[in-house]
Structure formats: structure tokens, C-alpha cells
Amino acid sequence: MIEKPDMDKAVFCKVIRTPDDGGEIRFPKYLPHYPAMCLIASDEEVALEEGNIFLIRYSAVRSYVISGDVEII
């Protein structure tokens, strides 16, 4: 039986080649000090460039893993 990957788990990955779309991933900034644990409009951005290694949420790089631009290590 093949299990579905947990999209919210962090994975180590290596960028094999810079994606054609530039590989910019934006994350909403999480600030737990605010009521109801809300997300704040301030974003953080990561650029996927060839040779970089990241510890990142699987859901953020899933499409790049499928396209072959990123590999899970």
C-alpha cells in the first residue's frame, strides 16, 4: 500500500535546476502573538536556485518535485 505524503511535513530537498518560472515560493508570515493565531499579510519569499538545499514544507515544493526541478534528499 502506498501512503500519501503529508503535505505539511518538512522535507530536505535539493534544487537540481532553477525552475523556468523562477521558482519563487511565498509563505505567509505566521505571528502567534495575535488573536486567533491569524496570518499576517507580510510575506516571506524563497527563490529556488540550482544547487540550493532547503528544509521546507513538502506542499511548497511538490510541483517542482513532480517536474524534476527539485529532488527530496
- In order of start, what are the domains of the chain with their CATH numbers? 10-72 (3.40.5)
Burial of 72 (0-12, 13-18, 19+ CB in 10 A): exposed
Whether pLDDT at 34 is above 90: no
Task: Name the percent of the chain lying above pLDDT 90.
Answer: 32
Model pLDDT, residue 23: 86
Q: Are 49 and 23 in contact (CB under 8 A)?
A: yes
The beta strand positions in the chain, using DSSP E, are 10-15, 24-30, 39-47, 53-57, 70-72
Stated pTM of the model: 0.72
Using CA atoms, how far apart are residues 54 and 62, in angstroms rounded to an integer? 13
